[in-house]
Amino acid sequence: MKIKDYGQEVCRILNIWQVTLYISNNVKPIDEYVSKDSKGNYVIVFVFSKKDSQEVFFKFRNRELEIGEVLTV
């Protein structure tokens, strides 16, 4: 599989809870795609800009990131 070049540093996230927290804190993915994990299971991969997601990443890592205000119904 060829890894796409986004022209910037990116992080790929599989954890749907982490993705939910990022998006609700107004950090939008720049891409998403379907792939397979090491066991052959299909997974959705969300791609975020490292620069744009750095602040929420540190809060997530420190268990300080909460659901944000950006919610749609």
pLDDT of residue 4 exceeding 60, the answer is: yes
CA distance 24 to 58: 16
Question: Distance (Å, rounded) from C-alpha 11 to C-alpha 31?
Answer: 11
Per-residue model confidence (pLDDT) at position 73: 55
* Both tokens assigned to 10: 């990116």
pLDDT, one tens digit per residue, over 13-46 is 999 999 999 999 999 999 999 999 999 999 999 9
Question: How does DSSP classify residue 2?
Answer: P
